[in-house]
Amino acid sequence: MYLTRAETLLFSALFPPLPHDTEVKEKPGKNVTLHCNTDAAIALAERNRSGRENYVVFFCRDNRLIGTFPFHGLVELKGDGSVVLKNVSVNDTGNYTCLVWTLSDTEEKCVASVHLSVSGVTELKAKPGEDVTLPCNCTKDAAIALVLWNRTDLVDDVFFFRDNKLIRIFQNLSFRGRVELKDPEMTNGDCSVVLKNVSVNDTGNYTCRVRTLSDTEEKCVASVHLSVSGGSGNETKAGNLKNGQINDENEWGYLTLVCLCVFVLLVLVFFFVLVLVVLVHVLVTIRHVVEYIRAMVRTLEEGVDELEIARTERLTCPRPLYS
- Inter-residue contact 117 to 23 (CB < 8 Å): yes
pLDDT at 19: 45
Per-residue pLDDT band at 282 (split at 50, 70, 90): very high
Q: Rounded to whole angstroms, how far apart are CA atoms 64 and 69?
A: 15
Highest mean pLDDT (candidates 36-45, 58-67, 206-215, 269-278): 269-278
210-220 residue pLDDT tens: 888 887 777 77
Say yes or no to pLDDT of 150 above 80: yes
**CB proximity list for 17: less than 8 A, separation 6 or greater:** 95, 115
Average pLDDT of span 235-251: 51
Instruction: Write the single-letter amino acid at 147.
Output: V
Range with the lowest mean pLDDT among 7-11, 159-163, 269-273, 310-314?
7-11
- Inter-residue contact 181 to 196 (CB < 8 Å): no
pLDDT at 200: 93
Residue among 127, 137, 151 nearest 28 (CA): 137
Instruction: Write the single-letter amino acid at 23.
Output: E
Say yes or no to pLDDT of 137 above 60: yes
More confident call, 261 vs 41: 261
pLDDT at 101: 60
Say yes or no to pLDDT of 226 above 80: yes
pLDDT at 54: 42
pLDDT at 236: 47
pLDDT at 37: 62
163-182 residue pLDDT tens: 888 998 889 999 999 999 99
Average pLDDT of span 292-311: 84
Strand order in the sheet with 109-118: 22-26, 109-118, 94-102, 7-14, 55-61, 64-68
Burial of 164 (0-12, 13-18, 19+ CB in 10 A): exposed
More confident call, 51 vs 13: 13
Mean pLDDT (the chain) is: 74
pLDDT at 16: 42
Per-residue pLDDT band at 110 (split at 50, 70, 90): low
Average pLDDT of span 92-106: 67
DSSP per residue, 257-313: HHHHHHHHHHHHHHHHHHHHHHHHHHHHHHHHHHHHHHHHHHHHHHHHHHHHHHHHH
Q: Rounded to whole angstroms, how far apart are CA atoms 11 and 113?
A: 9
pLDDT at 39: 53
The 3-state DSSP class for residue 199 equals coil
Domains belonging to the chain, first-starting first, are: 7-118 (2.60.40.10), 122-241 (2.60.40.10)
